Amino acid sequence: MRVTTKPVSDPRPIRDENYLETSKGNLRLFMEKRGCTLNLINSLESTSFKSIIAVFHFLLKQLDQMLKFGQKSDEDIPLILKSLNYPVTIPRDTFIPFSKRSISPSQIVLGSWVAELSDYLSKWQGRDKASFL
């Protein structure tokens, strides 16, 4: 008997403007707290492929400073996110610029998810260190 898994659709309201603005604000705040350069933070308003990839490199490096990226980051990043158990299927075109005004809704919620995961990891590591004192 073969078991197939159906891709899980994203339960978040990623087409809701208020949700996206909140997610983008949280992502911007996270990047500021983590010492991200202003140019990179401002690239959240960019459609440049390089800028979008740079944002995700920064975010994923918050989880693991030793993380190395290959020549095809647009292929590496979805694999990394999948290995982190990102809860929904990542569309193939996720890292292609979405519109002329800013990054796509998928990119915003992906980035926001990585930022949340990074904050949880930091809190867990801080708690773990405190228990050894």
pLDDT tens-place values along the chain, 133 residues long: 555 566 667 788 888 899 999 998 999 999 999 998 888 888 777 767 788 888 889 999 999 988 888 888 777 888 888 889 988 888 767 776 555 556 778 888 899 999 999 999 888 877 655 554 4
Query: Does 4 fall in a domain?
Result: no
Asked whether 69 and 57 are in contact (CB, 8 A), the reply is yes
**107 lies in some domain:** yes
Amino acid at residue number 49: F
- The secondary element (H helix, E strand) that includes residue 40 is helix 38-42
HEC sequence for 14-25: CCCHHHHHHHHH
Q: Which two tokens stand for residue 35?
A: 């010492």
Q: How far apart are CA 75 and CA 77, in angstroms?
A: 6
Radius of gyration of the chain (CA): 16
Could you tell me the residue range of the domain that residue 122 belongs to? 17-131
The structural domain count of the chain equals 1
Report the CATH number at residue 21: 1.10.418.30
- Identify whether 1 is part of a domain: no
